């Protein structure tokens, strides 16, 4: 047989799924282990919406003030006498990473603009990556921003690749959310882990539950925010990274009475952990291995 010019590596993913019914919602949590070394944590939300009753049966009954502004419903009329209330969902992941051993450092790899000097080049600017090893906890409290982009690496400062890069894995955020509540609001004091999307703490077996052990009675004194504000040393130590996946939810009629699944995820991705693309170790598939699909235009 002629040697095919084209070959591919099939993407094979092991999915470990857990579904938790919490009150009215179902949380589908998938841990995906991929052959390129990526671990993806995915959260899907479904279930029954949180609703409140109303005397309104139609939007045209909602009271208006003199200026014509409608009364604030804090939600959407989904059906006669039913309002789906605006709310958030937050799921925090406790990532007790040991990259090539227990002692790791957290590195903010900040992308920056480098301006060229006048007359140096027809170009005005380039990009550069500024690596900051985070020394203490407060510096590891991260608010994501498109206009101040960073990568977030967890490296083993004592281990390097053949060409000298520290071995690492990075946390790759995707769509998430930040709470809009006042920090002194009781639910926000308990849920203060949503004040940042990423936190880094030194490992401590008593500090595992981000909103404290007894969340409902909590005054917020036993939470990730309080631990992290002690600003302990986190360089070259056994560290824990906390990533929070959030969803703002303004309900719409399609969410009622039962919701289609909404999902988001984040990745743990190797960054100079392998010497080369680890997928090359997988046996290739060739053209003749693949199923052939053809149009069935001649069958009546």
Ligand X SMILES: *[C@@H]1O[C@H](CO)[C@@H](O)[C@H](O)[C@H]1NC(C)=O
Contacts to Cu ion by CB under 5 A: 249
Token pair in block for residue 148: 């101040």
Nearer to ligand X, 209 or 247 (CB): 209
- What Cα–Cα distance (Å) separates residue 298 from each residue in 64, 235, 293? 63, 68, 14
Question: Closest CB to ligand X among 27 and 203?
Answer: 203
Tokens of 300: 């009546």
Least Å from the CB of residue 243 to ligand X: 20
Q: How far is the CB of 89 from Cu ion (least distance, A)?
A: 5
Q: Work out whether 137 is an interface residue with ligand X (CB under 6 A).
A: no
For 190, other C-beta atoms within 10 Å of its C-beta total 23
- Under rule CB under 6 A, residue 204 binds ligand X: yes
The tokens for 59 are 């939007």
CB 179 within 8 A of CB 143: no
Q: Compute φ and ψ for 45, nearest 5 degrees.
A: -110, 135
Total residues found in the chain within this entry: 300
Using CB distances below 5 to 8 A depending on partner kind, what does residue 42 bind out of ligand X, Cu ion, none?
A: none
Q: Which is nearer to ligand X, 42 or 189 (CB)?
A: 189
At its nearest, how many Å lie between Cu ion and the CB of residue 77?
16
* Cβ 230 to ligand X shortest distance, Å: 7
CB of 227 to ligand X, least distance (A): 5
Residue 207, binding choice from ligand X, Cu ion, none, Cβ under 5 to 8 Å by partner class: ligand X
204 contact, one of Cu ion, ligand X, none, CB 5-8 Å limit per kind? ligand X
Smallest distance, Å, CB 120 to Cu ion?
A: 52
Q: Near ligand X by CB under 6 A, which window of 22-30, 94-102, 199-207, 259-267?
A: 199-207
> Looking at beta carbons only, is 136 or 265 nearer to ligand X?
136
Smaller CB distance to ligand X: residue 151 or 207? 207
Which residue, judged by CB position, is nearest to Cu ion in the bound state? 249
**Interface positions, 226-245, toward ligand X (CB under 6 A):** 227
By CB under 6 A, name the one of 137, 151, 207, 255 that touches ligand X: 207
Pairing of strands 87-95, 239-249: antiparallel
Question: Which residue from 55, 60, 206, 299 is in contact with ligand X, where contact means CB under 6 A?
Answer: 206
Q: Closer CB to ligand X, residue 205 or residue 276? A: 205
Residue whose CB is less far from ligand X, 199 or 273: 199
199 makes contact with ligand X (CB under 6 A) = no
DSSP the chain: -PPPS-EE----EEEEEEEEEETTEEEEEEEEEETTS-EEEEEEEEEEPPEEE-S-SSGGGS-B-TT-PBPP-SEEEEETTEEEEPEEEEEEEEE---SSSS-BEEEEEEEEEEEPPTTT-S--EEEEEEEEE--BGGGG-B---TTS-EEEEEEEEEEE-TTSPEEEEEEE--S-----S-TTSHHHHHTGGGGSSEEEEE--TT---TT-SSGGG--SSSSHHHHHTT--B-TTB-EEEEEEEEEEE---GGGSSEEEEEEEEEEEEESSSSSS-GGGGSPPEEGGGS------TT--
CB of 249 to Cu ion, least distance (A): 3
Rule CB under 6 A: say whether 208 interacts with ligand X.
no
Q: Interface residues with ligand X (CB under 6 A)?
A: 204, 206-207, 227
């Amino acid at each position: 047989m002629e040697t095919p010019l084209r070959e591919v590596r099939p993407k094979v993913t092991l999915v470990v799924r857990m579904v938790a019914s919490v009150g009215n919602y179902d949380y589908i949590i998938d841990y995906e282990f991929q052959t390129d070394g990526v671990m993806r944590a995915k959260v899907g939300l479904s279930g029954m919406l949180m609703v409140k009753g109303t005397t309104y049966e139609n939007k045209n009954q909602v009271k208006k003030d003199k200026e014509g502004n409608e009364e604030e419903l804090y939600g959407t009329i989904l059906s006669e006498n039913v309002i789906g209330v605006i709310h958030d969902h937050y799921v925090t992941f406790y990532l007790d990473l040991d990259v090539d051993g227990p002692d790791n450092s957290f590195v903010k790899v900040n992308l920056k603009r480098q301006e060229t000097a006048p007359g140096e080049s027809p170009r005005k600017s380039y990009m550069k990556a500024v690596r900051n090893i985070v020394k203490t906890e407060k510096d590891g409290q991260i608010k994501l921003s498109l206009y101040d982009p960073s990568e977030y690496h967890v490296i083993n400062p004592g281990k390097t690749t053949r060409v000298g890069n520290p071995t690492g894995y990075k946390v790759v955020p995707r769509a998430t959310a930040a709470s809009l509540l006042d920090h002194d609001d009781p639910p926000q004091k308990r849920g203060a882990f949503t004040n940042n999307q990423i936190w880094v703490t030194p490992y401590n077996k008593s500090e595992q539950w981000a909103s404290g052990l007894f969340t409902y009675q909590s005054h917020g004194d036993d939470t990730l925010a309080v631990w992290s504000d002690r600003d302990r040393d986190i360089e070259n130590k056994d560290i824990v990274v906390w990533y929070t996946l959030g969803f703002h939810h303004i309900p719409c009629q399609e969410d009622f009475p039962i919701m289609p699944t909404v999902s988001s995820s984040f990745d743990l991705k190797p960054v100079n952990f392998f010497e080369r693309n680890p997928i090359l170790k997988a046996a290739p598939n060739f053209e003749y291995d693949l199923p052939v699909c053809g149009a069935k235009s001649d069958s009546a």
